[in-house]
Amino acid sequence: MSNNPFEIMDKVKNEKLNVILYGAGIQCRTFISLLRFKGVLDEQIILLDSNESKTGRKFEKIKILNSNKINKFDPSKSIVFITCCFPAQILASVKNDFNVYSIIPIYNQFKSFLPEIEINNGELKYERNIGDITREFILYDTEFNNLYSSIENKNLRLKSIDAVVTEGCSLKCKNCSNLMQYYEKPQMADYELLISSTDTILSNVDFVFEWRILGGEPFIFRNLDKYLLHLKKHSNFGNIIIYTNGTILPKQSLINAIKESNSIVDISNYGPHSRKLHELTKCLEENNIPFACKEPEWTDSGRVTPTQNLPQNQLEERFFNCCTKDVLTLLHGFLYRCPFSANLMNLSDHYLNESDRVFVNNFPGVVREKIKSLYREKAFLSACDNCNGRDYTVPLIPVAEQTREILKLPT
């Protein structure tokens, strides 16, 4: 079948093909809007997802089927589009006789026709603009490029780096997914180590889609303005994203640095806990700084479980289904595969596994290979045995419940 987006769309409409969308996520929402705009009927659209908790639910008024139903459709009368950021998993589960496509060519060809009414439709808890949609699709495209690069073993392009600038936080959420509730004496990042490890990473990879700054609460890091301006020296990353909980209004020097570094501020709206939310959003608007303000949903994945001694196949399955397994985390000069692993090992040597992290400044000449191995070759992490799972089957819990006590790690 052709790769030309016009020919693909014509074939879908003229032959009334089943349009199988694999992955009911944020990119899928926009792609459904494009399909409808181009005249594809809802009865042609088949929506699949491997998350059993989504089975039977309506998404954009279309019923979600479990992905194991794909084999009931005739490959000669169907076309499959990957509509989420996990192409490797999906390709591994689809029979070779299906035509499987990325949605990027069609999105790029027809995105200028996206009706405004389809961008915000009531199912989301935050407003989106065309900049948000563009960022979502760049992330999607990055994941496909990562897959191609890993197959060819050439480029080293990373989805994101979470640079943790502080363990301290202005809130004490008892179910924080980055385990801040377990820190008895939270530390700030050593600025010189942060700079040197950042420079080492960016000098040894081809591209990072997002350089994400978080904590704790990053606005309490006193050198954040200097760090943002230092990042400008590098050109091989996409966006700088600063994650904040809306409790602190930055000083003018930091506002200036955010603006000068073209950073994006991502605000989690925790209702009354986000006590500076109105002032913060007003300040960002006045300074023309792009931001997103969202009411997040939390799953029960922010606690350390006692060691379970799970067999390897279960650890591999948990890791395979994890939604943060490709979120590299930079913490005190070490690069980790996921934020849970990073903070768990940082909290206690009891959970330490040196094979699951890289001290990036210790490997001159081979740090690129060390990063590549950490990012591409891990089948699971030792921390998976102390994790409650980080996929969309994990139950939802109340958001940002506060605790006055420092939680204790299981013995």
HEC secondary structure over the chain: CCCCHHHHHHHHHHHCCEEEEECCCHHHHHHHHHHHHCCCCHHHEEEEECCHHHCCCEECCEEEEEHHHHHHCCHHHEEEEECCCCHHHHHHHCCCCCCEEECHHHHHHHHHHCCHHHHCCCCCCCCCCHHHHHHHHHHHHHHHHHHHHHHHCCCCEEEEEEEECECCCCCCECCCCCCHHHCCCCCECCHHHHHHHHHHHHHHCCEEEEEEEECCCHHHCCCHHHHHHHHCCCCCEEEEEEEECCCCCCCHHHHHHHHHCCCEEEEECCHHHCCCHHHHHHHHHHCCCCEEEECCCEECCCCECCCCCCCHHHHHHHHHHCCCCCCEEEECCEEECCHHHHHHHHHCHHHCCHHHEEEHHHCCCCHHHHHHHHHHCCCCCHHHHHECCCCCCCCEECCCCECCCCCCCCC
Q: Is the pLDDT of residue 2 over 60?
A: no
> Quick one: 175 and 120 in the same domain?
no
Q: Is the pLDDT of residue 121 over 70?
A: no
> Quick one: 253 and 333 in the same domain?
yes
Q: Is the pLDDT of residue 47 over 90?
A: yes
Q: Is the pLDDT of residue 211 over 60?
A: yes
Average pLDDT rounded to a whole number, residues 12-23: 93
**Per-residue pLDDT, 150:** 66
Preceding peptide of 216 cis, ω within 30°: yes
Q: Is the pLDDT of residue 117 over 70?
A: no
Of 81-85, 121-125, 131-135, 405-409, the one with minimum mean pLDDT is 121-125
Looking at the structure of the chain, the number of domains it has is 2
Q: Is the pLDDT of residue 3 over 80?
A: no
Tell me, yes or no, whether 139 lies in a domain.
no
> Quick one: 223 and 310 in the same domain?
yes
**Per-residue pLDDT, 140:** 82
Tell me, yes or no, whether 403 lies in a domain.
no
> Quick one: 101 and 203 in the same domain?
no
Q: Is the pLDDT of residue 248 over 80?
A: yes
**Per-residue pLDDT, 84:** 87
**Per-residue pLDDT, 141:** 83
**Per-residue pLDDT, 89:** 77
Amino acid at 243: Y
**Per-residue pLDDT, 394:** 86
Tell me, yes or no, whether 301 lies in a domain.
yes
Average pLDDT, whole number, for the chain? Answer: 90
Distance CA 229, CA 109 (A): 36
Tell me, yes or no, whether 407 lies in a domain.
no
> Quick one: 392 and 266 in the same domain?
yes
List the CATH number of the domain containing 103. Answer: 3.40.50.720
Please answer whether residues 94 and 48 qualify as being in contact, where contact means their C-beta atoms are separated by less than 8 angstroms.
no
Average pLDDT rounded to a whole number, residues 202-230: 96
Q: Is the pLDDT of residue 43 over 90?
A: yes
**Per-residue pLDDT, 153:** 64
**Per-residue pLDDT, 212:** 97
Domain of residue 66: give its range: 5-133
> Quick one: 197 and 56 in the same domain?
no
> Quick one: 96 and 195 in the same domain?
no
- 249-287: per-residue pLDDT in tens? 999 999 999 999 999 999 999 999 999 999 999 999 999
Tell me, yes or no, whether 103 lies in a domain.
yes
